[in-house]
Amino acid sequence: MQSVIADYLPMVERTPEEYRECSLVDDGRRYGSDVKWSSEVVGAREHELGTALRRMQNLHQFRWFRPLPPVSTGEDDLWTILKSLGTVRALHILDLHEKCLPSWPSVVASSSFLSFCGLTSLTLRSEAMDRISEDPDVTPLLQMLVSNCPALENVRLHLHLFTHIETAPADVMVRDGQWPNLTSLYLEGFNCQPTDLAIFLGRHSGLRELRLPCMMPGYRWKDLVLPSGSLPNLRTLECHSPTASALLSNGEVATNLVTLQAIDLHDVVRLAEYFKWDYEWEDEHDLEILELQREIPSPWKAQLLEGIRAHPSITWLELDKEPSHSQVAELAEVAPQITELSFCGDYDRKKREWNVGMKLEIILLVWYLCLKTQIDPTMPSNRWGREWWIGRRTFLDHR
């Protein structure tokens, strides 16, 4: 249910230990042989939960942070119980899965969940698409939001696609979604066409926070053109450099933008490092994967710098990687108003180096030390079978 600690804190700090999703040691213990998951055991626990939920006649928010999705059906179906209350407006769900339990149901495929109505906020992180061999597709979920939730204010959908080279189409959302109250949108694991995305953003003028994945719009970033006056209330934009260069190319778009995150200022790039697979685009351009991995001069850097120049309201910039001094100089030339700078880089570098010759009146400097760590090989599955990056921050605050 509702966490008693503020949402802005990291999840690991605001959830009970047994529900923490990102602790590798805990997960290894949780999914080990000492834990015997079965639908009967979990169903019994869900029955107890359902009994308690039926008494909560004023419940507004519900969070599912269990290591596996709900399994009960019939009168104990979790989503049916929550819908019957008629008061739940915000859901925060972890749709996690274990490969050793392939038949376990997923939230995004639950018919009772997909009939939910009246939500104003949905935060969903799902691994369900990684369990299927077909191309990722969550169209029923997007249709639910479009048809059943006209008063949405916050949408955060994160699809984990560790084993897929393609992403899920967001067509239903960007073509049919009309949410006049929408202020925050975070997407990961989706794709769409630039024209559809431009129209969608143009009709959601209330957006204050926007996070777009690399394939929205992907390789066709040059075709993303918004009309003047779009996104007048946007304060925070998080996207990679190609998308940012397109969105900011018109100085009359997002005129009140304050924070720009996840960009870089590299002179030389590899397209394969910025985009996921797009068969249609690559067929049109007759490209092979080796060509996408070849280093080329950045097609978007100059446009991105000019876009930043055209938005003097930007005072906070978060770079994807540590910038060189020449890149900082370029930044200072186009955006001398920046007072807060964040990046991942060398923690041991002397702070003084980022003041000498910076030509920026930096008030707050944040950089992250990225520690590459390997996953515990004793873990019983490959769900965490990739390298993780652990961040650490240091602050140089002159305020």
pLDDT tens, position by position, 80-104 = 999 999 999 999 999 887 655 556 7
> For the residues 207-216, what does the mean pLDDT come to?
97
Please classify residue 99 by burial: count the beta carbons closer than 10 Å to its beta carbon, then call 0-12 exposed, 13-18 middle and 19+ buried: middle
Let me know: does 233 contact 181? Beta carbons within 8 Å.
no
Q: How confident is the model at residue 285 (pLDDT cuts 50, 70, 90)?
A: low
| Structure confidence at residue 209 (pLDDT) | 99
Residues 6+ apart with CB under 8 A from 156: 122, 123, 124, 184, 185, 186, 187
| Structure confidence at residue 272 (pLDDT) | 87
Amino acid occupying residue 264? D
Q: Higher confidence at residue 348 or residue 67?
A: 67
Please classify residue 306 by burial: count the beta carbons closer than 10 Å to its beta carbon, then call 0-12 exposed, 13-18 middle and 19+ buried: middle
From the DSSP assignment, how many helices (H) and strands (E) are in the chain?
A: 12, 18
> For the residues 69-77, what does the mean pLDDT come to?
81
Let me know: does 142 contact 170? Beta carbons within 8 Å.
yes
Q: Nearest to residue 311, comparing CAs of 237, 375, 388, 221? A: 237
> For the residues 270-284, what does the mean pLDDT come to?
77
Q: Higher confidence at residue 373 or residue 269?
A: 269
Provide the CA 23 distance to its chain's centre, in angstroms: 19
Percent of the chain with pLDDT over 90: 52
Would the pLDDT of 324 be above 70? yes
The domain limits of the chain are 123-314, 331-399
Angstrom CA distances, 243 to 122, 211, 263, stand at 25, 11, 9
Write out pLDDT tens, residues 224-236.
999 999 999 999 9
Crossing angle (nearest 10°) for helices 301-309 and 325-334: 40
Dist CA 269 CA 304 (whole Å): 14
Dist CA 8 CA 29 (whole Å): 28
Mean residue pLDDT of the chain comes to: 80
Residue in the block written with tokens 């006056």: 229
| Structure confidence at residue 119 (pLDDT) | 98
Please classify residue 24 by burial: count the beta carbons closer than 10 Å to its beta carbon, then call 0-12 exposed, 13-18 middle and 19+ buried: middle
Would the pLDDT of 375 be above 60? no
> For the residues 240-263, what does the mean pLDDT come to?
98
> For the residues 334-340, what does the mean pLDDT come to?
93
| Strands of 393-397's sheet in order across | 61-64, 90-95, 121-126, 154-159, 184-188, 209-211, 236-238, 259-263, 316-319, 340-344, 364-368, 393-397
Q: Nearest to residue 330, comparing CAs of 263, 252, 238, 253? A: 263
Let me know: does 317 contact 304? Beta carbons within 8 Å.
no
DSSP letter, residue 107: G
Dist CA 386 CA 112 (whole Å): 33
Provide the CA 241 distance to its chain's centre, in angstroms: 16
> For the residues 2-18, what does the mean pLDDT come to?
43
**Lowest model confidence (mean pLDDT) among 37-51, 140-154, 211-225, 351-365:** 351-365
Which tokens hold the place of 375? Answer: 């996953």
Q: What is the pTM of this model?
A: 0.82
Pairing of strands 209-211, 184-188: parallel
Which tokens hold the place of 68? Answer: 């596996």
DSSP, collapsed to helix, strand or coil, labels residue 234 as coil
Would the pLDDT of 293 be above 50? yes
> For the residues 247-257, what does the mean pLDDT come to?
98
| Structure confidence at residue 46 (pLDDT) | 83
